[in-house]
Amino acid sequence: MEKNQLIAVVVIVVIVGAAGAYLLLQPPVLAKDQPNHITWETIGLPEYMDPHKNYETAGSWVHYNIYETLFTYPWDTADTNPSVGLLAESVAISGDGLTYTFTLREGITFHDGTDFNATAVQMNFWRMLGRGWDDGWGPVWMIAEPILGGAAVEDAVYEFGDGTAEHIAAWNTWKDSSGAVEVISEFVVAVKLAYAYTPFVAALTYEVGAMISPTFFMAHGGMSPVSDDLTLNEEACGTGPYELVTWVQDNRIELTLNEDYWRATAAKVTHPNAGSITDIIIKLNTDVNNRMLNIKAGASDAGYWPATNAYDIWNNATTIGDGTLQSTDPNVKVWAGNPTFDVMFLGFNMNDYLNVTNNIRESPFQDWETRAAISYAFDYDALIDNVLNGLGIQLQGPIPQGMFAHDDNLFMFEKNMTAAVEHWNLAMASGLDDIWANNSYELNIYYNEGNTNREAAGLLVKQAIENIIADPASTNPTSTLTIDVQSLEWASYLFQVRNKQLPIFWLGWAPDYADPDNYAAPFVKSTGTFPSRVGLVNSTGEGDVVWNHTLVDGWIDAAAVETVDLTRIAIYGDIQEAIVDHCAFLWGYQATSFHVEGAWMNGYVFNPMHDPYFYHYYKTEVT
């Protein structure tokens, strides 16, 4: 480069730099001042953008705004009956409860222009059972189990593995021969079940029942068990009000309005401002103080405000109203105290060994006595009162209060140090000290980064064990037991939970559908989401009694097909009692709602079955 050229470049840089300096003096454009834009801050982004595979709440609420299901819940209410036809106009159920005939809406297209019709529905069902397993962790079980022939596909996955030759063969046989999903006409499709299953439509409202453009998924891997899902893991193509623009891993998701959304005209009849939000950024921000300050300052429009920090903004009023009655700050709206079906629990790893690479460690929680000791030593009141600021109740078994078949008389642990020490000493007498030695007298309790509720709950577990050891009547470990509470990035945390590497873990469960089957199956059935992670099958309970998964799985199956309410209640009573007595989980809390937005935000309506629906949102100036 010649000297005069270099000088020219320097001059340009100085000018640009000066301009930049001038621009920095201008006040930033706040989120609250962008009438058509929403900035939402959260502590976790989806694991997958594929609704047939993703099985965690960080993804499902995003998918709820991109994809649509055949039915949904009533708008603007807390009603959990999936009675609103979305992509389907109606459904006719045969007298024997085995055939569901859906009449579909006409004139709907996917984001890529593909027509929505009965063939698209059929292909989506085929893809659900082909691709919705995620190595056994996926959500499609709730569709596969009741649908005609689906159990054989599920059995092949759980026995031989996702994508194995056996899974492929079972899926091909099911798709080609079962007749489970039949196209009747262009806009009529029949779905046949193996048995009468009352919550089938409800199960279809979960995002696993979302309709993806068949043109899109066939162009990017297909629908069979051997498909390549790399594109659908990160991209999306539905019929919903918003389209995915960008997903920057561990950073943000950007959505933009679907200008051709099929509900636009009808939605404006009941929601005149529907569609006024044209752009949405969902940002990852694990700093709780920063998130709260951003909402107060209008730098973000809304975000995750944990119950641990409720009194930073909540005035403790019980009248919920429109969000303006429960806030100490006129620039912030708060909705608190709505009963939810969201629960948080601790899973004890009951496998003999922790599945940690190159490090064989025995699990201290394989012994029922150890689990019982911690269940008695844990301070449930502190969890509810101090961590949640009273925004919750102690969880009483797997089925939450307020849901059909919950057992109000079910035995539940409460803090009792005498009982805790008694069970601890029995565990020590049967070899617990040797297990602590195998673990180098260390216990690490992990939580997902940014989740202050789980961090505080982990500290309460640490305190419970330390209180046992400090008791004069306790049999202490030979060496000092070191207990640490540490954070893990969400994906890493979820990976280690799924692969049985953590000795104990805190997780939440938000309902897929509002029926006790959606709690009994994931928490108690041997093939369910959590039993496989905690090693329920072959684990031992009180008196070394091995968990009878054949018996209890049979109860769960029977309850799912039973149509007589009193009989269902009795069966679920047996299921709840069995899992609570086994101490497979420490039942933490059932949450009541705590939702925070800027005062300029409008359109939020609480429903225990879904998170915010952006299409009905709009902004107004704060005076």
Instruction: Kindly state the average pLDDT of the residues 229-234.
Output: 92
pLDDT at 9: 33
Decide the pairing of beta strands 482-488 and 504-509: unpaired
* pLDDT level of residue 615 (50, 70, 90 thresholds): very high
CB 397 within 8 A of CB 576: yes
DSSP secondary structure, 302-358, as one string: EE---GGGGGGTB---S--TTTTSSBSSTTEEEEEEEEEEEEEEEEE--SSEE--TT
Cβ within 8 Å of residue 580, ≥6 positions away:
397, 410, 411, 412, 587
What are the tens digits of pLDDT across the range 90-117? Answer: 999 999 999 999 999 999 999 999 999 9
Please, what is the average pLDDT of the chain? 92
pLDDT at 529: 84
Torsion of CA 438, 440, 443, 449, to 10 degrees: -120
Comparing CA positions, the residue from 155, 152, 146 lying closest to residue 98 is 146
pTM over 0.75: yes
**Cα-trace Rg, the chain:** 26
The percentage of residues in the chain with a pLDDT greater than 70, rounded to a whole number, is: 95
Provide the 3-class DSSP secondary structure of residue 523.
helix
What are the tens digits of pLDDT across the range 577-605? Answer: 999 999 999 999 999 999 999 999 999 99
Residue whose structure tokens are 């068949």: 214
- Check whether 88 has a pLDDT greater than 70: yes
Distance, CA of 490 to CA of 343 (rounded, Å):
18
Buried b (16+ CB within 10 A) or exposed e, 557-568: bebbbbeeeeeb
Instruction: Kindly state the average pLDDT of the residues 549-562.
Output: 93
What are the tens digits of pLDDT across the range 136-176? Answer: 889 999 999 999 999 999 999 999 999 999 999 999 999 99
pLDDT at 358: 60
Distance, CA of 162 to CA of 525 (rounded, Å):
19
CATH architecture for the domain at 340-592: Roll (3.10)
Distance, CA of 224 to CA of 163 (rounded, Å):
9
Distance, CA of 30 to CA of 296 (rounded, Å):
11
Q: What are phi and psi of 424, to 5 degrees?
A: -60, -45
Q: Encoding tokens for residue 415?
A: 């803090």
* pLDDT level of residue 566 (50, 70, 90 thresholds): very high
- Check whether 6 has a pLDDT greater than 60: no
- Check whether 22 has a pLDDT greater than 50: no
pLDDT at 228: 82
Instruction: Kindly state the average pLDDT of the residues 354-373.
Output: 88
* pLDDT level of residue 26 (50, 70, 90 thresholds): low
What are the tens digits of pLDDT across the range 478-494? Answer: 999 999 999 999 889 98
What are the tens digits of pLDDT across the range 270-300? Answer: 999 999 999 999 999 999 999 999 999 999 9
pLDDT at 357: 62
- Check whether 19 has a pLDDT greater than 60: no
pLDDT at 327: 97
* pLDDT level of residue 372 (50, 70, 90 thresholds): very high
**What does the H/E/C string look like for 361-375?**
EECCCCCHHHHHHHH
Decide the pairing of beta strands 181-185 and 188-192: antiparallel
pLDDT at 5: 33
pLDDT at 137: 84
Distance, CA of 576 to CA of 516 (rounded, Å):
10
Q: Encoding tokens for residue 18?
A: 């000066």
